[in-house]
Structure 1
């Protein structure tokens, strides 16, 4: 059975011999466990931490899923950015999982290289930055995001522009313009 950060799957518990009735009973309101996502449990009753939400998102989306965006940047040495309400996860193009209250799933045909930190698969800083930037609607926050990543040395403007050219064109105009403003290119 795999339990990390107090998070596990219903399937792992069943495979380990825990009866479905026991799982259901422990997940009732006021019980010692809590359902975070379909088939994903927190083995404590309180609110999940951000790390537990990341773990739950990965368990739910499967072993080929990759955490991206601000959460990936936080876990790679850029803790100063405000965390969004949802964990952004890249999933395989053939998966059809649904978003949930704290989970934003995005299908991709371009799975990024993975950096593993605390047993969580994270997108590289370049990809994570642009996944976050494509979703940022506010120009000043977009500028701060890109400037923070460049200042921290997690990647270069050249890396970001190359990733913009290689990736989806959807949502790329604002990050491209902000990068030009930052670098003068």
Structure 2
């Protein structure tokens, strides 16, 4: 057999590999197909029809890998793969695949490659990436090699399956991408798209960046400040829309409350003076001072409620995912005002 002989005309057992849907296999999978290590080495000799792409992972063709082949090769290298070849089960693009049908254990695509799979337009095409980040448990004995860059974590997050590829959630993928980026504009574009595109809420991103200890980098802090401002602006727009779409009475927007001749009581995003009902968007970022900030929120709420003012806290995520439920909560608070004692008189000032 010469180097150009197609697999479909190869002697047993190689001829049986011509039907393999994905032309990337591990040493264990080749062995399960009846291909010995010596035969694999023979196929991968210089000028041969196969190539070793990563340790223990082989491409069953001589040309460059496709983006899909690179992803699966990296996962095969990093995952605890079964010895038997996984069944070839087609997965529709963007669909969630049953976990049992996936051949990969303890490995997720993360970083820029994951963001590309999530649909980020500000992330580069897969084939342009020199490295593909793969997330594995911290105690796995693996080293980065070739295009596979190992990223470790104490515990793997629940994956999303995109075209059959296990992918880290957007906040974790963002943190892993930002860890490798020194370009402030690139970091800003990724974080902004995460919020504008509805991929996740700012608080989730900041939580991951904090855990990754990335908030000590000035260009990351600047991008996070922009992210939080972007997130608040989007949440405010949703709050305006909720009031309009669900027929709530018009409140006064963005006000400060004070006691007559007394202290400042705090700012509110919406306030219904006649019913003494307030709405505040909970856009706290989970940074190191979260406990102190929450204590401030709690003191403010307790003070207002002692004055007879009902405070409804709404998170941006709840506004995005369950606007109707939040409208019901506010409407209930407004209707219940008739059954409460009158609130203390407060001065309402524009913020």
| Shared fold per TM-score greater than 0.5 | yes
Partner of 1:48: 65
Per the TM alignment, residue 79 of structure 1 is displaced from its structure 2 partner at its CA by: 4.2
In the alignment, which residue of structure 2 is the partner of 1:179?
224
Query: SS of the counterpart of 2:209?
Result: helix
Pairs aligned (count): 182
**Conserved 8 A contact 1:134-1:172:** no
Question: What is the match of residue 187 of structure 2?
Answer: 142
Residue of structure 2 in register with 1:31 after alignment: 48
Deviation (angstroms), 1:4: 5.5
The question of whether the paired residues in 2 share the 8 Å contact of 1:68 and 1:88 is answered with yes
Q: 2:33 aligns with which of 16, 21, 24?
A: 16
> CA 1:149–1:4 in 2, change beyond 3 Å: closer, same or farther?
farther
After TM superposition, which residue ranges in structure 1, 4 or more long, deviate above 4 angstroms? none
Q: CA deviation at 1:40?
A: 0.3
Q: Quick check: 46-55 or 79-88, which moved more? A: 79-88
Counterpart in the other structure of 1:168: 212
Q: Residue 135 of structure 1 aligns to a residue in which SS?
A: coil
TM-fit CA distance, 1:145: 1.4
SS at match of 1:88: strand
Structure 1 CA distance, aligned partners of 2:223 and 2:21? 39
Residues 67-117 of structure 1, C-alpha deviation per residue, up to 9 Å, x if partnerless?
Answer: 101111111222442243100011111112111121110111031221112
In the other structure, the counterpart of 2:115 is 73
How far apart are the structure 2 equivalents of 1:20 and 1:158? 50
Which structure would you say has the larger RCO, counting Cα contacts within 8 Å and 6 or more residues apart? 1
Contact in 2 for aligned 1:27/1:35 (Cα 8 Å): yes
TM normalised by structure 2 equals 0.49
The residue that corresponds to 2:151 in the other structure is 106
How high is the TM-score relative to the length of structure 1? 0.89
- Aligned-residue CA RMSD (Å): 1.9
CA drift at 1:16: 2.3
